[in-house]
A and B are shown apart, each in its own frame.
Chain A
């Protein structure tokens, strides 16, 4: 599969991650009457994180719909609308509340196309603000994306930049399958170049953010940002890291990871979700099962969330998820000492 360097089209304005999503939503709604946004407080309030902003005033209450606090109900309503000709985009206020909507997403949305012998499609998008770092404590800070990457029938993406936030959203809305977009709360205000015209970032395509020869660091969402920052610091100590931003967890662009590992011979996987039984386990196993394994000069290393619910105390909260310093230290050990 093709990979690309982090060189978004030149001469574009900068938008925040939240603004980029909003622009994508507006363009999708403009282009296609079947697209509508719904969720708790997406209307006049403009969304809990301000993502829908003024869309209510631009598109009206039929296209930007405030719902009661009924996560299971609204997830099911998205399924029903999707199988009968609409293209719902559902916002869950915090990704944690997907736990209340699991039934419809996992038992219904994911399986209907298959169970019905391919006779129905479920073109719905669920947007989920996730991640820690805001002091919101254990029920508002989780990174649950791996759960959904485990489910056949779902697609799962995790944009790290404003550019990808818009491009993956538009690709997700086009997709005939249910797509879950895990947005990161700490990224909403980050800014970057975003082309004005609609464009798609293909789902299932990783991006090589930095080319390097000494080790491969794989991450997504905010961990891809931290990995890139760590790589810049490592360069100062003569460690040349290649950084892969997964962008999509399911489908996973394994070819790009494997090609990189064959070149660098070392792999560090960084993710915010709990370390055990997570994304890192899957990528490690896929490498171990592939010919890329023969190229490894060091054991595969994982940096993931601590084995604990997210604590409220800010020092503990920070300690519970990989930070830039942790990535630098782990990469250094992997290259210099042969294990992280």
Chain B
């Protein structure tokens, strides 16, 4: 079998690279399962949208799964994340229930936000997900406050905040990194650089080539990693998480990746070529990891298919749960505007 582009060893004789060797079978099983869950969740969401079952719009992260899963793999259940408009992956990776996510998608009462928020606002507060965000860079300053809160309460938690490359051109990004640095807050800033902010190529939008370069302005570590390489993402995220937990302050971690779908459902892809999309399809993180695992005899092909199949089942059941769920009661339109 020909080696996939970007996979470093397709040869069982060669030793595993350190990033892979650092991951036990159980961790890999969890990671693979989450990546499949995300992929299938989004493919199913997309199909539901096409069939008119979901209104509004949605932002799919298909192609970016390794970034969401790799960065969060070493987080604890009580660590926090803050997510973005492209947040289904973060949510699943942090352990949310896909059934309640789907119910939210369908605007149902037992969705994570009781049908009030939809795709762009899914939050799983009990699971440590403080919410997707409809405002680009909206989560960054909130992360600063979460970091202050963790510190003030002398907790050992970490806050991981996700944002896109485009978000780093908002003032909020710069203000937040500065505050996190001067106060040495337990935050991991994760930029999912998928090359575009909607149609805007990062090369046209930003004066430096890498988002990670911006860390130097705030005297914090800035690390760029291949965001489609799961073991590499884990290897880059783990020290940043540890540093934050030890009181060593924030890190800016840039996962270089690519969204294979349009920005949203109205994107006609006028700003990029089919060839570019195809190149990145070949770097698909899921296939790449599976290929490497088989090559090193870590998993048998049948085992991998079983993991994928189980994820598919979970998502099918999630969809059924959402369809069967009740709609909100219109008489409760103004409920929850204020806390009691």
Contact = CB atoms under 8 A, between A and B. Distances in A.
A313 B120 CA distance: 12
Contacts of A46: 270
A70 B166 CA distance: 9
* Residue from A70, A137, A138, A313 with most neighbouring chain B CB atoms (10 Å): A313
Nearest to A135: B56
Contacts of A140: 120, 134
A312 interface: yes
A231 B135 CA distance: 38
B204 interface: yes
B8 interface: no
A240 interface: no
Interface in B87-136: 107-108, 113, 115-118, 120-121, 133-136
A331 B58 CA distance: 38
A57 B324 CA distance: 48
Given A40-B200, A70-B170, A307-B337, A137 B56 contact: yes
A70 B107 CA distance: 31
B121 A66 contact: no
A312 B204 contact: no
B317 interface: no
A313 B204 CA distance: 37
Given A45-B270, A312-B115, A68 B134 contact: no
Given A45-B271, A319-B330, A66 B117 contact: no
A276 interface: no
B198 A41 contact: yes
B171 A316 contact: no
Contacts of B167: 69
A205 B99 CA distance: 52
A308 B330 CA distance: 13
B134 A139 contact: yes
Q: Label chain A's interface by main secondary structure.
A: loop
B199 A43 contact: yes
A315 interface: yes
Interface residues of A, number: 36
A223 B271 CA distance: 36
B114 to A, nearest CB: 9
Given A44-B270, A312-B116, A316-B116, A68 B169 contact: yes
Interface string B190-215: 00000001111000111000000000
B238 interface: no
B173 to A, nearest CB: 10
B55 interface: yes
Given A45-B199, A138-B121, A315 B330 contact: yes
B117 A312 contact: yes
Interface of A: 40-41, 43-46, 48, 66, 68-73, 96-97, 100, 134-140, 306-309, 311-316, 319-320
Given A68-B205, A308-B337, A312-B115, 20 more contacts: A44-B199, A45-B271, A48-B266, A66-B204, A68-B169, A69-B167, A69-B169, A71-B170, A72-B171, A73-B171, A97-B135, A135-B56, A138-B121, A139-B120, A139-B135, A313-B116, A313-B328, A315-B107, A316-B328, A319-B333
Interface of B: 55-57, 107-108, 113, 115-118, 120-121, 133-138, 166-167, 169-171, 197-200, 204-206, 266-267, 270-271, 327-328, 330, 333-334, 337
14 contacts: A40-B197, A40-B198, A40-B200, A45-B198, A68-B205, A69-B136, A69-B167, A96-B134, A96-B135, A139-B121, A140-B120, A312-B56, A313-B107, A314-B107
